[in-house]
Amino acid sequence: MKRYVIERDLPAVGTLDREQLKGAAVTSNAALAQLSGKVQWLQSFVAEDKTFCIYLADSEASVQEHARLSGFPASKVTEVRSVIDPMTAMS
């Protein structure tokens, strides 16, 4: 599986309360269930008018299909080529 960052333009998403975010997660999980393990949602970062989601998926097409099924637009999908962190400096 490849790792992707999905940028979603969602006006005022940063103002949603816990229950509204829970509802969004339920909707996303329902769409994931329809994709038979082709896509895995790892986490999302909520900003003022965007979310940045980290997914594992077999292809960008599967990420786009999740966006279609969930109703959450994938404004930009970027495949992650490498991951670095502070420990990268030690190796």
Q: pLDDT tens-digit profile of 19-59?
A: 999 999 999 999 999 998 999 999 999 999 999 999 999 99
As its CATH architecture, domain 2-82 has: 2-Layer Sandwich (3.30)
pTM for the complete prediction?
A: 0.91
For 15: left if phi > 0, alpha if psi spans -120 to 50, otherwise beta; the answer is alpha
Supply the Cα-derived Rg of the chain in whole angstroms: 14
